[in-house]
Amino acid sequence: MIRTTNLITAGTMAAFGLTAWSGVVASDSHTIKFGNVISAGDTQNQGYELFAEQVAERTDGRITVEVYPDSQLGGEREMVEATQFGDIEMTAPSVGVLANFDKSLEVFDFPFIFEDADTAHEVLDSELGDEMLAGLADSGLVALGWGENGFRNLAMTDGTVRVPEDMEGVKLRTMQVPMHIAYWESIGAAPTPLSFPEVFTSLQQGVVDGVENPYELLYSARLTEPANYLTETRHIYDPEVLLINKDFYESLSDEDQEIIQSAADAAIDEIRSLKENVSDEIRAEIEAAGGTVTDLTEEERQAWIDSAVPFYAENASEVDTDKLKAILEAAGNTTFLEAIR
Ligand code: EAX
C-alpha cells in the first residue's frame, strides 16, 4: 500500500481534544503510483507526465503522481490486478487485457472495426463508450477515459506478410486476449499469448515468429530489431483505458476527483494529438534503420477484411452481441454488421 496516510498519534489527538473513537484521520496528501508497459518518452507517457504535472499543480503538490513506464511494475494484466487491489493506484492497459475483468469489453477485440482514429474517438467518446467503461466499477476500477495505443500492425522476424494465408502456422505473439487469439487461430496462425515484458526475448530466441503492435511501440520497445519485416495491416484499433483504484478515487474529495478527471481528459487529448503523425514518423525511422515496411494493395487489404467475416459470424454470439452491433453501427461498419445479422 503506497498511499500516504498520516496517522494522528494519541498525543496529538489528545492535544486537539479528539477522542479515540474518531479513529484514524487521513490527510489529503497522496501519492499515486501509475504503472504502464509503454516506453518512457512515447506519446502515452508524454501524456501521463502531463497528467502528473497538472495534478501536482492544481493540488499545490498535495497529490503526487509517480509514473513508472517500461513495465517497471510488471505486465499489463498484473498491473490491472495491482490497481484493483490498491497496491498501485493507476495503470493504463490496452482494452484487450480488460476483457479478463469485464467481459462486455470484448467487443473491442474484434478486428477491423474502425477505419480511422477519428471514427474510433467519436464512438469511444460517445455515451455508448462511457457505458462500456462503467462495468469496470464491479472490478474495483474507475475508468477515467479512453487513451490510445493506436492501430496495430504486424512485425515478423522472417519474411513479409501480405495476405492472411501468409500467416498459416506462424507463431504470432498476441496479448492475453481471448478474441485476438481466436481470430489469429481462425486464419490458421499459431497465436502465442505472452505478456508484453516477455516479447523481446521471445522474438530473439525464436519462441515466436512475429508480433503485432502500433509502429511506435514496436520501435521504442526495440521489437523491430528482431522483427524487422513489417506490414501495415491496421488490423485493430487499440484503445488504452486510464484506470484508477475505485476505493482510492472515492476516498478523495469531490474537488480532487474533478482535478484527476480533468487532468486525465487533458492527457488523453494530448496523447491523441501527438499520435496523429507519430505513426508515419516512426515508420520512416524504422525504414531508415533497415526495416522493411509493406503497404497492402486494396485487394490485399480486402482479403484481410474478408478473412474476418467468418470469425465475426462465429464469435458474435460469444460476446454481448447487441453491444457489438451498436459499436459496428456507430463505426459505420456494414460489412461485419451483415456478417452477424
Ligand atoms: O498496451 O501487450 C501489448 O502488446 C500492448 O499493446 C501493449 O502492452 C500496450
Which residue's entry shows cell 504486424?
154
Cα of 296 vs centre of ligand 1, distance in Å, is 23
Q: Are residues 127 and 273 in the same domain?
A: yes
Separation between Cα atoms, residue 311 and residue 112, nearest integer Å: 11
Each residue of 168-186: b (16+ CB within 10 Å) or e? Answer: eebbbbbbbbbbbbbbbeb
Q: Are residues 182 and 206 in the same domain?
A: yes
Q: Which pLDDT belongs to residue 268?
A: 98
Instruction: Confirm whether 339 is domain-assigned.
Output: no
Which residues are CB-neighbours of 67 under 8 A, at least 6 positions away? Answer: 34, 36, 45, 48, 49, 51, 52
Mean pLDDT by 10 residues, the chain (341 residues): 39 40 62 98 98 98 98 97 98 96 96 98 97 97 98 97 98 97 98 97 98 98 98 98 98 98 98 97 97 98 98 97 97 98 90
| Ligand 1 pocket mutation, candidates 72, 94, 97, 153, criterion most atoms within 8 A of CB | 94
Instruction: Give residue ranges with CB within 6 A of ligand 1.
Output: 37-38, 76, 93-94, 149, 175, 196, 213, 238, 240
Backbone angles phi, psi at 77, to 5 degrees: -60, -45
* Three-state secondary-structure class, residue 210: strand
Q: What pTM did the predictor assign?
A: 0.91
* Protein residue with its CA nearest to atom 2 in ligand 1: 196
| Ligand 1 pocket mutation, candidates 105, 152, 175, 224, criterion most atoms within 8 A of CB | 175
Q: Are residues 46 and 118 in the same domain?
A: yes
| Ligand 1 atom nearest residue 240's Cα | 1
Cα of 196 vs centre of ligand 1, distance in Å, is 6
Which residues are CB-neighbours of 3 under 8 A, at least 6 positions away? Answer: 30, 31, 86, 89, 248
Q: Which pLDDT belongs to residue 298?
A: 98
Number of domains composing the chain: 2
Which triple of cell numbers denotes residue 205?
530466441
Q: Domain range holding 118?
A: 20-103+113-148+239-277
Q: Are residues 218 and 292 in the same domain?
A: yes
Q: Are residues 117 and 35 in the same domain?
A: yes
Instruction: Confirm whether 75 is domain-assigned.
Output: yes
Q: Which pLDDT belongs to residue 7?
A: 38
Q: What is the 3-state secondary structure (H, E, C) of 86-145?
A: CCCCEECCEHHHHCCCCHHHHHHHCCCCCCCHHHHHHHHCCHHHHHHHHHHHHHCEEEEE
Q: Which pLDDT belongs to residue 27?
A: 75
Instruction: Confirm whether 15 is domain-assigned.
Output: no
